[in-house]
Amino acid sequence: MTINHAKARPTACLAMADGTLMFGRGFGATGQTTAELCFNTAMTGYQEIMTDPSYAGQIVAFTFPHIGNTGVTPEDDETADPVAEGMVVKWDPTAPSNWRSTETLNTWLTRRGRIAIGGIDTRRLTRAIRQQGAPHVALAHNPDGDFDIEALVAAARGFAGLEGRDLARDVTCAQSYRWDEMRWAWPEGYKRREGPGHKVVAIDYGAKRNILRCLASAGCDVTVLPATATADDVLALSPDGLFLSNGPGDPAATGAYAVPMIQSVLGQSRMPVFGICLGHQMLARALGAKTVKMNHGHHGANHPVKDLETGKVEITSMNHGFTVDAQSLPVGVHQTHVSLFDGSNCGIRMADRPVWSVQYHPEASPGPMDSYYLFERFSKAMADAA
């Protein structure tokens, strides 16, 4: 058992299934939670990360030490409430210094019921995750500093993990809705799309708001449907295109209902289809490919991806713990993008139809505009098919 004591009296404890303990200073909500632990290498965007539905079932360890120094603002939420179970940081959050900030990260986490721990050696933690894989952990915050260590380790060992779990059902919308808000722009902020547009049905497996904004900014009239929507639900809206969103969990589990829907739509319509992240994995499985669990996944905003068809390298944002097995792609489905970190698949397309997807998040804009062309490509494909 390895124990890491923070200098001050510990008020939080991170317990791993192998018995490793790390003590630190708790902030945010009090209590206890269990999850898979992953690390994220992004230097900015902690609020967007915590509210990204793709992080359901996970606690995020941030490798960048300055977390919380810009505060939070409602404009940066990617969904109504935080979805990540908790956060692990090196240094305690400082007072925010940003003109857009409306409250501190500590207050925001407390109000939203999310636990955090500071004072942790995140470099050491990241190395351990890279070498041993994403561990199952329990995170507890108690201002009194009293912890039942055996119970915490047992809770970590009892966590079910992400394999075999359909988490899209937990984060999807309860009913359909329209979306017309566009990307943020100075000085107006978020404007509303007006006038006619390409009718797009977006399947919400855990959609980030900025993805929907990018679709609206690309000229799309967006209707969002729940993850469990059927092909009949989609086709009843007579869309010009189908969008498959990001989301959490095991694609094989979500695919139990998502794959038949996609296959049915592809069989009945020639409309363009575009997928991101879990949507990419759903499309790949619908076309006959396989997905596999990664050792520790890809989580960050500095991931280089090569477009094999143009030779262009894009700096991308990623958040996924499963990947499409490129060796399982069937005839007629081409690999279009690969990670320059490990060569894993990052994009596919059908050879004879405007149907494609990518593993990364073009809406997050770390490039900053390296990948926005994908939304424009989707819009153009719908215009060409009209």
Q: ω into residue 135 within 30 of 0, thus cis?
A: no
Using CA of residue 132, residue 283, residue 348, residue 203, what is the dihedral sign?
A: negative
Strand duo 12-16 + 136-141: pairing: antiparallel
Buried b (16+ CB within 10 A) or exposed e, 281-309: bbbbbbbebbbebeebbbbbbebebbbee
277 part of the active site: yes
Closest CA to 121 of 241, 2, 276: 2
Distance separating alpha carbons of residues 54 and 320, to the nearest angstrom: 8
Tokens 């993850």 map to which residue? 227
Do the Cβ atoms of 34 and 138 come closer than 8 Å?
A: yes
Do the Cβ atoms of 100 and 77 come closer than 8 Å?
A: no
361 part of the active site: yes
Q: From the candidates 36, 78, 314, 363, which is the catalytic residue?
A: 363
Do the Cβ atoms of 138 and 117 come closer than 8 Å?
A: no
Closest CA to 341 of 363, 315, 311, 322: 315
Q: What pairs with residue 377 in β-bridges?
A: none
Do the Cβ atoms of 264 and 221 come closer than 8 Å?
A: no
363 part of the active site: yes
Q: From the candidates 296, 299, 337, 361, which is the catalytic residue?
A: 361
In angstroms, how far is CA 183 from the centroid of its own chain?
18
Q: From the candidates 214, 220, 277, 346, which is the catalytic residue?
A: 277
Do the Cβ atoms of 308 and 49 come closer than 8 Å?
A: no
Q: What pairs with residue 117 in β-bridges?
A: 26, 88
Catalytic residues: 277, 361, 363
